[in-house]
Structure 1
Amino acid sequence: MNTTDEDVASYVRSSTADQDEQHQLDDIDEWAERNGIDTSQIDRYADYAKSGTDVGREQFRALIDAVEREEYDRVITWEISRLSRLGSTYQEFFEAAADAGVVVNVTNGWTDTIRPDGTGKLIADISAAVAEEERRKLISRVNSGIKRARKQGKWLGETPGGFERNDQGYLRPILNPDPDEDGYLEIRAALEAIEEGASYRATADGLTMTRQTLSRIHQDDERRGWYLDARADDARVSEALEIVNDGDDAHDRVGGER
């Protein structure tokens, strides 16, 4: 039983499926234990792979509804931005908490307590605003870097089968593959076999890629041409394929400088 004799809820959110929310849960539990709250009695709300700007987060909406019904005395979250990155829903939550007399605790922030009378709210607002501004700047820097890399002809995103990125970030065909990877020429041979009537399943048995991946390449007119014709409309791929079209010295130059 909670030594504080309170009804307590917690909320965590991850922005992507790859993010691990366990550190949020651990911080919340550590804070609760330090403050005499039995962690087994906390009602847990969590939204996974959800943006902080998503107003329709199911668990967050359920938490607001429960707060409005005055089911809780306290809500604990890891960071203020976990609640919302959208001003309207952020204010909606805190207005509901204030009206219901709910204390909000933040385990990783400039202030750890926002009370119904508004104590701590200004600092929380400033913290949220600073975090959002830093996020906007980060997104701007990332977007600028992507635009710059594309302008320079560098390959971004997932590397196509049979290709690799060299140290400078440019796409190059793999002409001397390791045992655990598919080379450009092996994929070309597989596609040629399929063109001659071989099945995807039988052909994929000789590759590390799946039958589904091989099928997608073969059924994509543009990508199929990368291998069968060594030609591409994408300038980055076309430049990479120059080494294949050059002839006998291809193996000696693969992976070299631009």
Structure 2
Amino acid sequence: MKAAIYARVSTADQDLDRQLHEARDHLDANYPEVETIDDYADIVSGAKENGGDEYQRLWDAIRAEKYDVVVVHEISRLSRLGPTEIHEFIQHCLEHKTGIESLDVGLSIRVDDPDLQQTIYTMIANIMGDLAKIEHQQKLERINSGIRSAQRAGKWTGRAPRGFYVGDDKRLHVDPEEFLDIRHALERIANGESKRQVAADSGIPRSTLTDLYDNQRGLYMDGEADDDRKDAALNELRPLPKFDADDEDNLDKRIRAIVQDELTN
């Protein structure tokens, strides 16, 4: 009889050896006839949270019907691979005549069970899959709730718009030089210059200039924000003169004087 153990941790600091040791103890106590035990262990960081090389190797070995039973230390960790992964893993084992034991929930599915009992175990697998989906949705809701709470408190979540940055206070602030460079580029476009030439001179990609000019021109040229957090950040530059295509040079000088005054006070 051949057995496999699957253990999974998210950081190197977690005790992978303990999981493997406890799984071996379980096999020794419940499957004395086991002759061979193979270990499959993944350390899955945030950047690799969607999978694990050892998990895939185990999946392939089960498909090849290499094992009679697989012991998973914490089957609940498989939900991190996706909301249906627990169900799919159990079904995969059953389809390829591999029993499965899970230490964290006491699940035990043996391939020599009668048909009725096998049906019950399949129902359990379905329920666990549904619970994993619920857990996944709850996790997403907690994340979204935290984002909404931070936004209500005036904090900026996500990437800052061009010409702005997120400070240590987690709030949006104006980057005066970048903001004015964008404004000047948009003024040139408004005065009839080609976006290609302005992009080449300013270093701002043409596609970005097009988006800024078409969708956010009011923010940079008139200081009109569609978000209270952007509006609060723009107070660092106000009063911001209205754009006048006939007075571009004087306008730019006045704006930079405002910025210099803000930075020195």
Indicate the TM-score class for this superposition, using the shorter chain for normalisation.
0.5 to 0.7
Deviations 1:177-210 (A, max 9, x none): 4xxxxx1000000111112222223212234442
Query: Which has the larger share of helix?
Result: 2
CA distance in structure 1 between the partners assigned to 2:97 and 2:72 by the alignment: 17
Alpha-carbon contact 2:84-2:129 (below 8 Å) kept? no
RMSD of Structure 2 on Structure 1 (CA):
5.2
Spell out the pairing of 1:102-113 with structure 2 (5 A cutoff): 102-103=98-99, 110=104
Q: 2:239 aligns with which of 227, 246, 250?
A: 246
CA distance in structure 2 between the partners assigned to 1:229 and 1:141 by the alignment: 37
Q: Which residue of 1 aligns with 2:159?
A: 158
Deviations 1:188-237 (A, max 9, x none): 001111122222232122344422222211121xx111111111222222
Q: CA deviation at 1:97?
A: 1.8
Judged with a 3 Å threshold, the aligned counterparts in structure 2 of structure 1 residues 154 and 99 are, in CA distance, closer, same or farther, namely closer
Q: Which residue of 2 aligns with 1:193?
A: 188
Q: Which residue of 1 aligns with 2:246?
A: none
Specify the SS of the correspondent of 1:243.
Answer: coil
Q: 2:110 aligns with which of 116, 127, 141?
A: 116
Q: How many residues align?
A: 203
Specify the SS of the correspondent of 2:211.
Answer: helix
Specify the SS of the correspondent of 1:232.
Answer: coil
Tell whether 2:166 aligns with 1:171: no
- Note the residue ranges of structure 2 that are not aligned, 5 or more in a row: 25-35, 41-47, 114-120, 241-256
Q: 1:228 aligns with which of 204, 221, 243?
A: 221
Q: CA deviation at 1:92?
A: 5.1
Letter in structure 2 aligned against 1:158? R
Alpha-carbon contact 1:99-1:116 (below 8 Å) kept? no
Q: Which residue of 2 aligns with 1:18?
A: none
Q: CA deviation at 1:80?
A: 3.3
Q: Which has the larger radius of gyration?
A: 2
CA distance in structure 2 between the partners assigned to 1:201 and 1:87 by the alignment: 46
Letter in structure 1 aligned against 2:224? R
CA distance in structure 1 between the partners assigned to 2:73 and 2:211 by the alignment: 42
Q: 2:94 aligns with which of 84, 90, 98?
A: 98
- Note the residue ranges of structure 1 that are not aligned, 5 or more in a row: 13-20, 40-47, 52-59, 178-182
Specify the SS of the correspondent of 1:172.
Answer: strand
Q: CA deviation at 1:246?
A: 2.5
Alpha-carbon contact 2:237-2:262 (below 8 Å) kept? no
Alpha-carbon contact 2:74-2:104 (below 8 Å) kept? no
Q: CA deviation at 1:154?
A: 2.1
Query: 240-249 or 74-83: which moved more?
Result: 74-83
Q: Which residue of 2 aligns with 1:213?
A: 208
Q: CA deviation at 1:139?
A: 4.1
CA distance in structure 2 between the partners assigned to 1:93 and 1:134 by the alignment: 17
Specify the SS of the correspondent of 2:201.
Answer: coil
TM-score (norm 1): 0.53
Specify the SS of the correspondent of 1:168.
Answer: coil
CA distance in structure 1 between the partners assigned to 2:109 and 2:150 by the alignment: 47
Deviations 1:64-99 (A, max 9, x none): 9x96x8755377989735644677763354245235
Percent identity of the aligned residues?
A: 29
Alpha-carbon contact 1:243-1:253 (below 8 Å) kept? yes
